[in-house]
């Protein structure tokens, strides 16, 4: 569960790197795209490769704010959210062949709760 919380938190962090630093609303609510915890490593890697071929994923490079923790779940969630935010925040921009999950609760609040 801590891995999921960390992935969601990192997904939240990257929205500040979107031009303007704002999130559009989906049905009147802010939203983020994260990797489903049940996703296998091959799927996560494919999602990273696809998303980063379409959007700038430099925030995940070593030494950048979204690099750590360095694991596929976290990096996939960041890449998927970057793609989702950049491509219009439509549900189909978070599908990733069924491995994406749109959340409307601020992921940064989940991690604070998880580690208290």
Task: Measure the CA–CA gap between 99 and 96, rounded to whole angstroms.
Answer: 5
What pLDDT does residue 64 have?
Answer: 87
Tens of pLDDT along 44-59? 999 999 999 999 999 9
How confident is the model over 99-115, as a mean pLDDT?
Answer: 64
Closest to 12 in 3D by CA, of 114, 103, 116: 103
58-67's contacts with Cβ under 8 Å and 24+ in sequence apart are 59/14, 59/17, 65/13, 65/17, 66/10, 66/13, 66/14, 66/17
The terminus-to-terminus CA distance of the chain in angstroms comes to: 14
Closest to 51 in 3D by CA, of 19, 89, 11, 78: 78
Greatest mean pLDDT among 19-23, 37-41, 62-66: 37-41
| Tally: H helices and E strands in the chain | 4, 4
pTM over 0.75: no
- Select the more confidently predicted residue: 20 or 39: 39
Task: Measure the CA–CA gap between 11 and 30, rounded to whole angstroms.
Answer: 13
Instruction: Report the percent of the chain where pLDDT is more than 90.
Output: 44
């Amino acid at each position: 569960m801590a891995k999921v919380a960390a992935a969601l938190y990192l997904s939240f962090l990257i929205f500040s790197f979107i031009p303007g630093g704002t999130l559009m609303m989906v049905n009147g609510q802010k939203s983020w795209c994260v990797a489903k915890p049940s996703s296998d490593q091959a799927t996560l890697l494919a999602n990273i490769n696809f998303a980063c071929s379409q959007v700038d994923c430099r925030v995940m490079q070593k030494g950048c704010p979204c690099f750590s923790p360095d694991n596929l779940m976290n990096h996939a969630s960041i890449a998927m959210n970057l793609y989702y935010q950049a491509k219009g925040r439509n549900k189909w921009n978070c599908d990733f062949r069924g491995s994406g999950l749109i959340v409307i609760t601020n992921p940064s609040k989940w991690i604070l709760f998880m580690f208290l």
